[in-house]
Amino acid sequence: MNKIFAPWRIEYIKMEKIEGCIFCKLPAMNEDEKNLILYRGKQAFVIMNNYPYNPGHVMVAPYRHVAEFENLKKEEVEEIYELISLMLRVLKNAMNPHGFNIGINIGRVAGAGIEDHIHVHIVPRWNGDTNFMPVVADTKVIPQCLEDTYQELKKEIEKIVVR
């Protein structure tokens, strides 16, 4: 059996698990760097995925606890799409991906890990980012730790956004 060592992940493994809705609780904690919140708008925010499919995997969610897309207010929808556009620019500048997957999983059957709070996934993709590891070893290799990715993306957001 082959082993892959990732000692920087131990802090994540030991991290206290959050009960309830992370999209409600994490922004309320006001510890953005610790909770990987990259950007706060008026209606919605951007947070990194703690279980990334690829480096730079982020999510955009409204602050308001809403399960169904059609129940979002017009202002929430508009800001969510503005934040998607912002993050596409940020990710292109910071990570130079070849493409993106952008999507909303509505319902468990559609892949929603958190069903009761709508959120949009933005996943950077590179040619060759799918390889033998997930198929043969049931292992996904993420080449950068979350904290380093956070700092890189946060720096790029600060270059683009003028408040």
Instruction: Please give the pLDDT value at position 115.
Output: 86
Q: With respect to CATH, is domain 21-160 assigned 3.40.50.2300?
A: no
Q: Return the higher-pLDDT residue of 9 and 46.
A: 46
Would you state the structure tokens that stand for residue 128, as one six-digit string?
């060759």
Residues 136-150 pLDDT 10s: 445 455 556 788 889
Q: How confident is the model at residue 153 (pLDDT cuts 50, 70, 90)?
A: very high
Residue 145: closest CA among 7, 2, 4, 22: 7
- 14: helix, strand or coil: helix
Domain boundaries, the chain: 21-160
CB neighbourhood size of 35 (10 A): 18
Out of 57, 65, 117, 119, pick the active-site residue: 119
Separation between Cα atoms, residue 105 and residue 110, nearest integer Å: 5
Residues 23-65 pLDDT 10s: 999 999 999 999 999 999 999 999 999 877 788 999 999 999 9
Q: Return the higher-pLDDT residue of 31 and 109.
A: 31
119 counts as catalytic = yes
CB 121 within 8 Å of CB 51:
no
The distance of Cα 51 from the centroid of its chain, to the nearest Å, equals 8
Residues 56-95 pLDDT 10s: 999 999 999 999 999 999 999 999 999 999 999 999 999 9
Instruction: Please give the pLDDT value at position 108.
Output: 84
